[in-house]
Chains A and B, each alone.
Chain A
């Protein structure tokens, strides 16, 4: 944008002053001249006007002088409010022209020139300002401060320094957080590459020291500022601002530019502070604000990398968790006391490990440590060092000495480790064990009971995944009347799980975990819903013979009042014949919740469903409960049956159960009938039904239903 257009003023002067013979306008940005008569020495005019208003001339009054014999030169100037020359004017007239008239005209036109110039100059300044603000705004918009993963931090911070260089038009931007190993920088092509290492060194030394003292932004636009602040990045201009992660000046964001760049302003400092806060927010996503240690996500990230490297290089890693004992007592005393203690323990743990190890804060006075290239024995030694150091911590609060200790749990990470969850669970369980054994001790995650419990915990998530992804499958095993093993109308529904590779997992592997960790209600519901849907889909409610489908229920479902409502609802929804369903509950679970079991069994029998007491005989003293539980079938536990033909004691047990069944009017079923000899023996006793490999192996329920459906439709055809 040009601040002044001289041509239109020449035009204006000619129109207002017809006797004018030539005009020249001289502005810092250019000259405009015009002569109306031949022979007029314009160059002479320019020289004279220029000489009159030389930059240092004090006398800027308008005046008149003879140009040549025939012409007079009228000269004058226009100044702004600060007496800066905007333009100088020369007007040539005939020698006899009225000087006062020309003078008045010059003042008049000068007013217009001044106004236009001022408006244009203000507009230019405003646009300049707008352009700067716009860049700042875009810089803030364009700079992320959210992380979606631990590893993204690097990219986000790198983009932040690149944006500083691009938007703020500086030569170098650097983000340094030495304690976290964060060193990001970016530079423009205007900066000589050989200067960069030195600049970065100065930033991280003298400039960072100055920031730590000042705790606020530093602007140094010249060497005086630099000397005063005791910083040395010169020649150049510097702007830097602290980054607070843990209430300390943990790092800095700095921009450096050349001497020709316009001075850094307070506005620049503000914008850099906004970016420093963004950087700090990014870092705080990964680092704990209280201890400055990496958070759980960070430990998991490093564990994941460790696991990869263990698989590829057979490198040994040991992972430990240290949990401050009875932190609650300290917190109850004073919340601040807890914070101070945690900070001191954090520093203490850092001192016991190498710089190459990773110490993380897991929250609540709990720390996780990844020891690289470290055997279990060595890890145990480090764990003991940490325990001893915490115990030796002389911690006082308000002059009260407090006893401090920590429980440490240790686990190994090897190429055999399946997932980092396994390790995390391992150290948690080992720490818990250390606490239960009396605190202030180190416990290794290596005893078989812990391993088994950990395996069960890992099963939990697999079962939950399988439930969510519908990876369960129903099998059915036939139960035959003992006097005619071919006339099968009775099946027990069994559950199989597919692992995430599609392999079938036998129930013995996952049901114990499901029982222990309360997953059975969900599984029971799934089995019930799926069975009833399949039966209905395959027309099992229209069979011309009375089929019975036995569904296992866990003790949880028996005592869950809502489950009964759920069964009724599913029967209604699918239109299943209630009389075709039999529910099996184990003797143990029925007896454990006797009153609830009675109510539950009674309610379902009222609907028409049948009931079995499963694994009967293993609960020993429970024969007398048979009086209270009116069930339809007793399933004699397989342990009595599998060698009933060889073991007289078992044979006597089976006989006794059968007789009790007869008396209370309950049919008996023998499980584990593996061969004809057993079958014969049971037949001799008078058992009603048999189930086992000797009768038929379990197969997919779908296959059974398809066979039955075909046979059924043939009979109707």
Chain B
């Protein structure tokens, strides 16, 4: 079964490109444009990986992550947080989160795909 990835970003073109590149690699992708919608989807069915931007309308990536951490302390899935170079201060609040990775914007899709691949390889290996 293909891995399910949820992408939250308020920039439509980023969303489109990311979704496209992920789908091309065979992932099942869902996209949302804000943190609130992302939270709703996560609660309905947890994805295998959540990729989220930080600054988004309705609910920011920070609130999204903190709420997920609070409501789902045993969460299994990985969260990728997209940061820009000027957002290093975000590393402070995110220090309280577990199972989180950072990707610096501009995000190289190739880098993202490589990291996902490594992550899933490692997971499958540990399951096996």
List chain B residues, Cβ under 8 A from A165.
110
For residue A148, give the distance in angstroms from its CB to the closest CB of chain B. 16
- In chain B between 1 and 31, which residues have their CB closer than 8 angstroms to a CB of chain A? 13, 16-17, 20-21, 23
* Pairwise interchain contact B107-A1, C-beta atoms closer than 8 A: no
* Pairwise interchain contact A131-B20, C-beta atoms closer than 8 A: yes
* Pairwise interchain contact B16-A138, C-beta atoms closer than 8 A: no
Q: Of the candidates B16, B23, B108, which one forms a contact with A135 in the assembled complex, judged by CB atoms under 8 Å apart?
A: B108
Q: Is A395 an interface residue (CB 8 A)?
A: no
Roughly how many angstroms separate A421 CA and B52 CA in the complex, as a whole number? 52
* Pairwise interchain contact B21-A141, C-beta atoms closer than 8 A: no
Q: Of the candidates A1, A130, A137, which one forms a contact with B23 in the assembled complex, judged by CB atoms under 8 Å apart?
A: A1
- In chain A between 119 and 169, which residues have their CB closer than 8 angstroms to a CB of chain B? 127-128, 130-131, 134-135, 137-139, 141-142, 163, 165-167, 169
- A128 nearest in chain B by CB position: B20
* Pairwise interchain contact B109-A163, C-beta atoms closer than 8 A: no
29 pairs from A and B in contact (CB 8 Å cutoff) = A1-B20, A1-B23, A127-B16, A127-B20, A130-B13, A130-B16, A130-B17, A130-B20, A131-B17, A131-B20, A131-B21, A131-B109, A134-B13, A134-B109, A135-B108, A135-B109, A137-B106, A138-B107, A138-B108, A139-B108, A141-B106, A165-B110, A166-B108, A166-B110, A166-B111, A167-B108, A167-B110, A169-B110, A189-B114
Roughly how many angstroms separate A244 CA and B13 CA in the complex, as a whole number? 36
- B117 nearest in chain A by CB position: A189
Roughly how many angstroms separate A134 CA and B14 CA in the complex, as a whole number? 9
Interface residues of B (CB under 8 A from A): 13, 16-17, 20-21, 23, 106-111, 114
Q: Of the candidates A127, A128, A163, which one forms a contact with B108 in the assembled complex, judged by CB atoms under 8 Å apart?
A: A163
* Pairwise interchain contact A135-B110, C-beta atoms closer than 8 A: yes
List chain B residues, Cβ under 8 A from A141.
106
* Pairwise interchain contact B23-A142, C-beta atoms closer than 8 A: no
List chain B residues, Cβ under 8 A from A137.
106
List chain A residues, Cβ under 8 A from B17.
127, 130-131, 134
Roughly how many angstroms separate A131 CA and B106 CA in the complex, as a whole number? 13
List chain B residues, Cβ under 8 A from A135.
108-110
Roughly how many angstroms separate A134 CA and B12 CA in the complex, as a whole number? 13
For residue B25, give the distance in angstroms from its CB to the closest CB of chain A. 12
- B107 nearest in chain A by CB position: A138
- A124 nearest in chain B by CB position: B20
Q: Which 8 A-B pairs have the closest CB atoms?
A: A138-B106, A166-B108, A127-B20, A131-B17, A169-B110, A167-B108, A134-B17, A166-B110
Known pairs A131-B20, A134-B13, A167-B108 / 18 extra A-B pairs, C-beta < 8 Å: A1-B23, A127-B16, A128-B20, A130-B13, A130-B17, A131-B109, A134-B17, A135-B109, A135-B110, A138-B106, A138-B108, A141-B106, A142-B108, A163-B108, A165-B110, A166-B108, A166-B111, A169-B110
Roughly how many angstroms separate A167 CA and B112 CA in the complex, as a whole number? 10
Roughly how many angstroms separate A127 CA and B20 CA in the complex, as a whole number? 7
Roughly how many angstroms separate A163 CA and B107 CA in the complex, as a whole number? 11
For residue A164, give the distance in angstroms from its CB to the closest CB of chain B. 11
Roughly how many angstroms separate A87 CA and B32 CA in the complex, as a whole number? 32
The digit string for A178-203, where 1 denotes a CB below 8 A from any CB of B, is 00000000000100000000000000
For residue A244, give the distance in angstroms from its CB to the closest CB of chain B. 27
List chain B residues, Cβ under 8 A from A138.
106-108
- In chain A between 537 and 584, which residues have their CB closer than 8 angstroms to a CB of chain B? none
Q: Indicate whether A142 sits within 8 Å of B109 (C-beta atoms), given known contacts A1-B23, A128-B20.
A: no
For residue B24, give the distance in angstroms from its CB to the closest CB of chain A. 8
List chain A residues, Cβ under 8 A from B20.
1, 127-128, 130-131
List chain B residues, Cβ under 8 A from A142.
106, 108
Roughly how many angstroms separate A137 CA and B109 CA in the complex, as a whole number? 12
Roughly how many angstroms separate A130 CA and B110 CA in the complex, as a whole number? 15
Among B16, B20, B111, which residue has the most Cβ atoms of chain A within 10 A?
B20
For residue B55, give the distance in angstroms from its CB to the closest CB of chain A. 18
